[in-house]
Amino acid sequence: MSTATASPGSSSSIAFIGGGNMARSLVGGLVAAGVDPAGVRIADPNAQAREALVADFGVQAFADAAEAVAGAGTWVFAVKPQVMREVCAGLAGAAQAGRPLVVSIAAGITSAQLDRWLGGGLPVVRTMPNTPALLGAGVTGLYANARVDDAGRERADRLLASAGATVWIDDEALMDAVTGTSGSGPAYVFLLAEAMEAAAVAEGLAPDAARTLAQQTLLGAARMLTESGEPPAELRRRVTSPNGTTQAAIETFEAGGFRELVARAVHAATRRGGELSAAND
């Protein structure tokens, strides 16, 4: 959607069903990327959320999802997995009439479920973005069902690329692992930040100093990871002087089962994705 000048109702306009945290991040990315906000139509029952989206981005907002999707060529489903079935059922007639490209960002919910709930036979792209999308620094995994053609893939890719990097996944069964890795992943880093800050305070540092030290360390390390072209193990090796301070810390992490704990956490999130699919079918 790089510099689209979509007018409301034209097939190049985009409808968001759900205008919460993630939709807000994606809409911010689209508008920053040059998409005409007049062609972005958002449905949300929450009046405050609607007003904020209109004020902040100049998009159109509707209480009624059917009004938001009218004439839109791409429908982005951004409601919670728990209400997805009901929301889709309410739009099935319009979906069958309009044959939009369906894009979902919901955890767990499969492309087959979305297609079935919307009446069947539709091109569906199941995606999993993450909250750094707000800064254009997100990453999104995408899976397309067999009905999505090259133009549909391109449209979905452009939509999510305004939020950061995109990674296409061929096997939909792996989308729950994407959720467990990058969808939920920012929270793992925030937990590490909390733990580092608390540990620094416990060692006697002032809270504001502890926060700055932890935050800048994570920022600097993340930039080295993405900008140096070096694998993480090599970057770690360069910090770790023989018998030095880092070695003492890393040995403590390893003895405590850090890697296994991360693997268990990612697995729990991955498994929860499957449960969300089954529980809301």
Ligand X SMILES: NC(=O)C1=CN([C@@H]2O[C@H](COP(=O)(O)OP(=O)(O)OC[C@H]3O[C@@H](n4cnc5c(N)ncnc54)[C@H](O)[C@@H]3O)[C@@H](O)[C@H]2O)C=CC1
User: Which residue in the set 13, 111, 113, 130 belongs to the binding site for ligand X (CB under 6 A)?
Assistant: 130
Q: Does residue number 136 form part of the binding site for ligand X (CB under 6 A)?
A: no
Give residues 180-209 in contact with ligand A1CAB (rule: CB under 6 A). Answer: 183-184
Q: How far apart are the first and last CA of the chain?
A: 32
- Residue 106 or 161: the one with the smaller Cβ distance to ligand X is 106
Task: Provide the token pair at 2.
Answer: 């790089």
Does position 131 interact with ligand X (CB under 6 A)? The reply is yes
Nearer to ligand A1CAB, 109 or 210 (CB): 109
Tokens 């969808």 correspond to: 183
3-class SS of residue 142: strand
Residue from 91, 106, 163, 177 touching ligand X (CB under 6 A): that is: 106
If one asks whether residue 39 binds ligand A1CAB (CB under 6 A), the answer comes out as: no
Joined tokens for residue 51: 């007003």
Is residue 140 near ligand A1CAB by the rule CB under 6 A? no
Residues of span 240-269 touching ligand X by CB under 6 A: none
**In whole angstroms, what is the distance from residue 76 CA to residue 97 CA?**
17
Per CB under 6 A, 12 contacts ligand X: no
Q: How many other CB atoms are there within 10 angstroms of residue 280's CB atom?
A: 17
Read off the amino acid at residue 77: F
Q: Does 179 bind ligand A1CAB (CB under 6 A)?
A: yes
Q: Are 280 and 108 in contact (CB under 8 A)?
A: yes
Q: Least separation, in Å, of the C-beta of 107 and ligand X?
A: 4
Q: Which is nearer to ligand X, 35 or 91 (CB)?
A: 91
- Six-digit token string for 135: 């800064």
**In Å, what is the CA distance from 243 to each residue of 33, 203, 248?**
49, 21, 7
Residue from 62, 51, 68, 113 nearest 88 by CA:
113
Chain position carrying tokens 């509707």 = 62
Among 30, 35, 65, 118, binds ligand X (CB under 6 A): 65
Contact flag: residue 76 with ligand X (CB under 6 A): no
Alpha helices in 162-206 (DSSP H): 175-178, 185-202
In whole angstroms, how close is the CB of 160 to ligand A1CAB at the nearest point?
14
**Count of Cβ atoms closer than 10 Å to residue 2 Cβ:** 10
Within 10 Å of residue 5's Cβ, how many Cβ atoms? 11
101 vs 139, beta carbon nearer ligand X: 139
Please state the residue numbers annotated as binding site for NADP(+): 17-22, 78-81
Which stretches of the chain bind ligand A1CAB, using CB under 6 A?
Answer: 107, 179, 183-184
Please state the residue numbers annotated as binding site: 17-22, 78-81
Which stretches of the chain bind ligand X, using CB under 6 A?
Answer: 17-23, 43-46, 49, 65, 78-81, 83, 87, 105-107, 128-131, 183
